Amino acid sequence: MIPKVFKEVIDLGDGREISIETGKLAKQAHGSVVVQSGNCMLLCTLVSNYKQSDVDFLPLTVDYREKFAAAGRYPGGFFKREARPSDGEVLTMRLVDRVLRPLFPKDYHAETQVMIQLMSHDENVMPDAMAGLAASAAIQLSDVPFETPISEARVGRINGEFIINPTRAQLEESDLDMMIGASADSVMMVEGEMLEISEEEMAEAIKFAHEAIKVQCAAQVKLAEAFGKKETREYDAERSDDDLAKKIYDLAYDKVYAVAKAGSSKKERSNAFSEIKEEIKATFSEEELADYGDLVSKYYAKAEKAAIRNLTLDEGLRLDGRKTDEIRPIWCEVDYLPSTHGSSVFTRGETQALATVTLGTSREANQIDMASYEGEERFYLHYNFPPFSTGEARPLRGTSRREVGHGNLAQRALKNMVPADCPYTVRVVSEILESNGSSSMATVCAGTMALMDAGVKLKKPVSGIAMGLITDVESGKYAVLSDILGDEDHLGDMDFKVTGTADGITACQMDIKVKGLSYEILVNALKQARDGRLHILGKITDTIDTPASDVKGHAPKMVTRRIPNEFIGALIGPGGKVIQEMQKETETTIVINEDPVTEEGIVEILGVGNKGIDAVLAKIDSLLFKPEVGSVYEVKVIKMLDFGAVVEYVEAPGNEVLLHVSELAWERTENVSDVVNMGDVFDVKYFGVDKRTRKEKVSRKAILPKPEGFVERPPRDDKRSGGRDNRGRDNRGRDNRRDDRKPRDTKKED
């Protein structure tokens, strides 16, 4: 028997709908929903253990996977099975996690898994825009404690009109691509890329998405009520002791405030805070610490956070002594690594990024193979964050989700400034060597300089800055912090990263922790970020203000040539013989692609020296060479034959044609060598394809003056007449056999 299904439908306002339903699938999960738009279907399940984990944080796992069967495809690879998540899937996991995690109770530490799967794909629906809705709806149907429904929506803009959850085709025309996560009351997360938009335009896009999210949150509430809202489960809350909290606050606050106000370095400040904490612990006996030592650490952290926040709100000072809008000292350098195609070092305070650029052909493009999207990236950026950058020693376990996310943000910040006609595949790698403050924004700055150092013709240089916000709801005070430290990243109410050119924003990433943040404060914060961004941009352009005029001497040069489709095979040769020999002889890399629109061949030639590239271009010119009837061309003898000489066109080496002995001179020529020899260079006239021989005809004698008294031989008469009439074309039948010929016996005598 099919179980009862509960369903809610969300109208997107333009004929499209999103439905959320429950009751049919995955009923043993604590919450499960199917979210559908068009033919795109996501299944989301939630399971949370009833027993608290022995950790002091929420062990939440958000997993998003795209099943290849959803698009009627096989996974790539030998085993034909989905394996580790792709970067695209990891980015979707991060988007959902960042909105969900703050809404669980601070003292809820049960192992929790949110699993989202793409079960059916629709090429006109981008599934990641519905993942947050699916996750929140599954939680609403469970008994897990959660503050309020949330959802996520993508917003684009075409011709000034905002669109909710645009298709991938619409995004190609859009000047922004932003994902917003929010509850009905507050925006909580923003991430996206833009084509140099203003701060006010960005705020308008967020407002537009928030209105759509309110409708999606209301639909979740209706679905939960129809299904039967469960009572929130009971769980063992963390211990608390108000008297202990007050005691530690009184012991720590003034001392922490004094250290914070001293404006010391990260190491000095860290040591001083540790000493204060140890002094407080020393006031308790060993038995007391054994009993509630975890509370001592917890309450000390709260006191430290309060003191630092108040220092900023009351006096406008920060941990390192800067004012709220002050940027740390910056120094930059380009061309630091001698063997890379481009390199730079960007250091801001105690954060340092070393960026490298590598140039290649389309063969080096980053291939994207997901169920929802297949394609390639000709510009991509990788970000590495080794443990030594923070003075730590910890296990290396491959690329982390954080590294994927930070690299993607920097890539989105820069990619639209790489011109569409850039012939290269460009890879940027950022190695974080020191970190105290936003290393992703240091990556953007270092990447900009490395690209210009490599000779990539960036439209405009890009810089980035990490910002913070501290607010006091009761007093109405707030402080926007420019270029935040690592410590400030955790104690603020909003941390956001903004990148852009001198003319507008190119990418952003925000996590807003305070409820009901006004758009006025948001715009003011973005404008302060613009001032800081322009200050940093000035430091970059002081170091390198324009892209290098050419790539470095040891870097490969790239030339692209288009050829008609019918010549591709000739350039490749049987089994690739021609192109392989050409690459070997010229020391170049040659890649041939086909334009899907014009069907022309696009030939990419990559080589360190111009000599090899010129040789390949000459070969292509030779291949494409088509002599015109009636024109005169210079040729060179490359082979001597009894009946003529094989000559090649000097301007198109490799293009050969037979110069027949009868076309050498007006006089009768007995031996070819009487007129021309190997290596001789002279002119010939081109007559096109001879109708009789069906071969190309050239003539040397046609451009020579006729000898005096020369009499041309009459044209040959091809008509056959007279004699042997019985051998004519019409007399070759079997009926013309001799009548007196005896028939051949067909059987042997017995």
Taking residue 637's Cβ as centre, other Cβ atoms within 10 Å add up to: 18
DSSP one-letter string for 145-184: --S--EEEEEEEEETTEEEES--HHHHHH-SEEEEEEEES
Pairwise CA distance, residues 379 & 177, whole Å: 18
- Closest to 409 measured CA to CA, from 376, 387, 442: 442
How far apart are the C-alpha atoms of 734 and 500, rounded to whole Å?
91
- What are 425's strand-pairing partners? 360
Cβ atoms within 10 Å of 581's Cβ, excluding its own: 11
Burial 326-340 (b: 16+ CB within 10 A, else e): ebbebebbbbbeeeb
495 appears as a binding residue in the annotation: yes
Strand order from edge to edge, sheet including 601-607: 557-563, 601-607, 589-594
Rounded to an integer, what distance in angstroms lies between the CA atom of residue 47 and that of residue 50? 9
**CA dist., res. 56 & res. 110, Å (int):** 10
Contact yes or no for 639/697 (Cβ under 8 A): no
Whole-Å CA distances, 301 to 253, 274, 304, 320, 414: 10, 11, 5, 19, 38
Residue 615's alpha-carbon distances to 585, 622, 663, in angstroms, are 9, 10, 32
Half-sphere exposure of 538 (CA within 13 A, CB side): 8
531 annotated as belonging to a binding site for a ligand: no
Residue 650's identity, in one-letter code, is V
Q: Which two tokens stand for residue 252?
A: 């720590």
Binding residues for Mg(2+), as ranges, are 489, 495
Binding residues, as ranges, are 489, 495
